Amino acid sequence: MDAAEFDLSTFENIWSEIYQQYDWLMDADYLDKTNLLKVENFNLVGFFQSLGDYALHELTTGFTQFKSILIFLIVIALFQNIQSTFSTKYEKVTNIVLKLILMVQLFQLFIFYHDYVLDILTRYMNIVVAIFPMLLSLITITGALWNQTLFKPAVVFLINASYFFINAISLPLTVIGTIFGFINQINVEDLYGRLISFVNKVALWTLGGYFAFFLALMSIQNMTLSFADGLFFRTTQNLMNHIPVIGTRFTDTIVSVVSTLSILRNSVGLLGVITLVVVVSFPIIKVGVSLILFRLLTGVIQPIVSKDYIKILDVFNTGLMNLLVIMIIIGVMFIFTFFIILYSSNMMLLTN
């Protein structure tokens, strides 16, 4: 099996989608389309230029949302000044109505980003599911049998557990925390402050704890299984060497074939890592730029509106930050998984 015969259709489909989705900023190809395995030719400068162009594009796009909320808050500030000048009779009712309008606008925007993050996280998992079998097959034929046996259930567990934490815990709790945060701002008293803080912490700490647990589990497997595969390979090699006449030659041939296939395996693994990094980077920039804009909005508008409206913006910013952190944790987890698998499978040859 060589690079020319290895089926890269899965990678080609993924990269075709990437180029279609970001066609307006990918004038220069990141990889050689005729041979994706030439990962050493990855256009790193072009990639960072594309990230910069995309950030500027998102600043322009996000400014529309920023501008509409800013104009509404300026109108609120003017209305409050006019009302305080003439009459404060209906000030409480008016403030509640204005708060509700602002909350509805921000919650609609939050749901938009929530759905976007959910779609992106589902795409992460689909890409891992598509790429992992190819890497696993190369690990198997290069002799890392123990790695193949135990990494497969580990990564299957990763994907299923990640799906559970995302859909059943982290994202729902983030939505609940944001809803209670908005409700809490309607009242004068801070009725749900501690509950909101607890819900937001649970949303992030459960996912972060799972991330730490999984990395620890994968690292332990990495050390033990690499040693087991290396010992098995070395023992088999020594036994084959004792076969008269053909033993040494056969062993040398096997080592050469394994070394050659290991190069192919590493190229596929690095291509998988590069693909995940590219897929992860653009959505993180999109949500990150929006978060920066709305934090800027909070700072700009603070001198002219009452602190009640600033707190409403803070609730939205907290929810958006949680979505960004969840997306980063899942993306980094999948990228680290590929790194650990590659490192573990390479350790087998180093222990010989």
Give 107-151 as a DSSP string. HHHHHHHHHHHHHHHHHHHHHHHHHHHHHHHHHHHTT-HHHHHHH
Whole-structure pTM value? 0.83
- The answer to whether the CB of 301 falls within 8 A of the CB of 37 is no
Assigned domain for 158 exists: yes
| Strand, coil or helix: 231 | helix
* Domain assignment of residue 6, yes or no: no
Q: Largest Cα–Cα distance of the chain, in whole Å?
A: 107
Supply the pLDDT for residue 245.
52
- Residue ranges making up the domain that contains 183: 41-350
**Residue 19 located in a structural domain:** no
Q: Could you report the per-residue pLDDT of 33-64, keeping only the tens digit for each? A: 777 777 777 778 888 888 888 899 888 888 88
CA dihedral (30, 330, 316, 296) positive or negative = negative
pLDDT at 155: 72
**Structural tokens at position 87:** 């009459």
Flag whether 163 is in a domain: yes
DSSP annotation of 305 reads S
Domain total of the chain:
1
**Domain assignment present for 134:** yes
Q: How confident is the model at residue 3 (pLDDT cuts 50, 70, 90)?
A: very low
Give the pair of three-digit tokens for residue 300.
Answer: 């700009």
Domain annotation covers residue 179? yes
Cα(348)–Cα(96) distance, integer angstroms? 66
Residue 246 is assigned to a structural domain of this protein = yes
The structure tokens listed for 208 are 């972060």
Look at residue 26 and tell me if it is in a domain. Answer: no
Q: 270, exposed or middle or buried, with CB in 10 Å at 0-12, 13-18, 19+? A: middle
